[in-house]
Structure formats: C-alpha cells, structure tokens
Amino acid sequence: MGAELHETAKALVAEGKGILAADESTGTIKKRFDSIQLESTEDNRRAYRELLFTTPGVEEYISGVILYDETIRQSASDGTPFPKLLADRGIIPGIKVDLGAKPLALAEGETVTEGLDGLRERFAEYYELGARFSKWRATYSIDAQRPSEYCVWTNAHALGRYAALSQEAGIVPIVEPEVLMDGDHSIERAAKATGRAQQALFTELHDQRVDLYGTLLKPNMVLSGYEAGDRAGVNEVAEATLDVLTRHVPAAVPGIVFLSGGQTDEDATAHLNAMNARGPHPWELSFSYGRALQAPAIKSWGGDPANVEEAQKAFYRRAKFNSAARTGSYAPEMEAAAV
C-alpha cells in the first residue's frame, strides 16, 4: 500500500505536469455559470466538465483532476464514466472529500472544516469509483487577532485525521491549509500566518502517523492582502513563499501544488514560474488551480456547444503556460503569442 501511495504522489507532480481542480461545489459552479448567463443544471455542469476532460493533448500538462461528488458519478456523452475517461488518458482521478468550512464555535470570524463523520465509508466508495487521491481544505482569515491558535490547531487536527483515513483507504491525501488573502495585511503578516498553519499541520500529520512520502501539500502563496495599498511584486512573493516552505515543509513531501486563491490567471502562472526559477528545491513545485486554469475556457465556451473547440484551445493554452512555469521557462510575452 505504501509503495502505491508514493508512486501516485510522485506521478501527480511529474515533470511538467500539474493538477486541475474541477471540484467546485454546486454553489460555486453556479457563480461561474452566472458569469456567462448559463443555468447551472446537472446536464450543463456535466457538459462543461466533459469539455475540460476531453481537451485534446491536455494530458501532456495535467497529471490529475480533483472531482466533486456529483462529477465522479457522472459519465461523458458516450457513456464512459468520468474517472475511467480520465484514467484512460493517463490522468489520475481525485476527489474532494471535505464538506466545507463552517463557523468555529466560540471563535467569531473563524472556521473549521467539517466532513470527518462517515469519511472512512465514503473513502471506500470513492476508491471503488476510481479515485486515487483526495483533497481537504481548511481556511484561515488574517486580521489583528486571527488566525487564533485555537483555529490553527483545530483545523490541523482535522487535516491529520482526514489524511490518515485517506491513506488507510489507499488514496493519496492532498492537505490544503489556505490562509485567505482577503484584507489589507502586509506580506510579512501573511508569511507569519502561513508558517503557523503549516507548522501545526505537519506536527499533526507526524503525530497521526501520516506517511509524508505519500502526501501532497496544497498551500496558498504568500501574498499581500488583496486590499493592501502597496502590494508585493512577483519576486517578493516568490521569495517570501519559498522562505515559509523551507522553514516548515519536510523534504519527505514529494510535491507542493499551489492553489491560485483568487489570483488572475497570469499572476498565478508568473508567481509559480518565479519560484521554480529559483530552484532546485527539496520538493516539486507545481499547481492545483481551479479558476486560474478554467477562466479562459468557460468564457470562450459560454454554454454554446459550437464553442467547445475554442474553449478547449483556451484551456490547453493555460495548462501549457503553467507547465512552462514548472521549469521557470514561462515569460509574460507568451500571453500575447498565438496558440
């Protein structure tokens, strides 16, 4: 079992490849569809995911796809279950298993992620459906008092419990401690909060017997708050993020797959590129983007079947740029060039 987990974790961060996060909840995908004036029906959601999953050649750049509970049970228009469709292309199917961040009792403005009850049984079903990796997201807000030690340790404990159950089921866990960038805080404040969350997380993973060689980390990049007046530039973000990771993430972790966290497509790619240009690092530095990979595709598609090919080209292009960022070879000038 351990060897299989290690191999899957390494395959997810294989050279030049990263992960597509297509695990939007029903509420989140509705917001995405609202932006193109499309009703969020099950059939429209299935058609959109099929567009992404069948993009010609995208397996060159995408190693795995995180699915939502609805999506892992759906099939393509030809009847092929989505997990099989992906696996047949050499793309590893994954599954989001947390049930969302809920208010943390007696901690105003802070959250804890729920979903541990019945998780062992859900993992058994997801494994049968084809999932070979999973994801659990915890969120932490920054202000003068937050994140509190209470919030940091409560979420770290839940992430540890989730990861242990995932590995027990033969499924690689991606642990996602996301320090939110809403607010006007400095990059220094973000670095402190991010480091604190990661330190607690790896303490819990060790204490709960999680095999780090079969685990991936999905962190936020260290950014100034989105409302900050003087926001840090690409080089400062790369250096601050790498400093936090070097201090807190064991070298046994095979890969770090960043979330985009509301960044523009270009910013998410540029920041990843700047970090890899400063390599080599103890871990593979890759991506696990949702909106930052999908935004051009959903805009091109607009819900019209006639636009599928153009939308797939837009998705392929974005995946290619992020693949280049994995080796530090992305340049902003690529954005203006033809596909």
Our answer to whether residue 176 is catalytic in this structure is: yes
Longest dimension (CA), the chain: 54
What stretches of 36-148 show up as alpha helix (H) in DSSP? 42-53, 69-72, 82-88, 119-129
Reported as a single tens digit per residue, the pLDDT across 267-296 is 999 999 999 999 999 999 999 999 999 999
pLDDT at 92: 98
Q: What are the CB-based long-range contacts (under 8 Å, 24+) for 152-157?
A: 152/196, 152/197, 152/200, 153/200, 153/204, 154/104, 154/112, 155/112, 155/113, 155/197, 155/200, 156/197, 156/200, 156/201, 156/203, 156/204, 157/204
Reported as a single tens digit per residue, the pLDDT across 8-62 is 999 999 999 999 999 999 999 999 999 999 999 999 999 999 999 999 999 999 9
Given the residues 17, 96, 135, 218, the one annotated as active site: 218
Given the residues 110, 176, 178, 204, the one annotated as active site: 176
Q: Name the DSSP class of 104.
A: P
Q: Which domains does the chain have, with CATH numbers?
A: 2-336 (3.20.20.70)
pTM, two decimals, is: 0.97
Look up residue 267 and give its two tokens.
């910013």
List of residues 6+ apart from 207 with CB closer than 8 A:
160
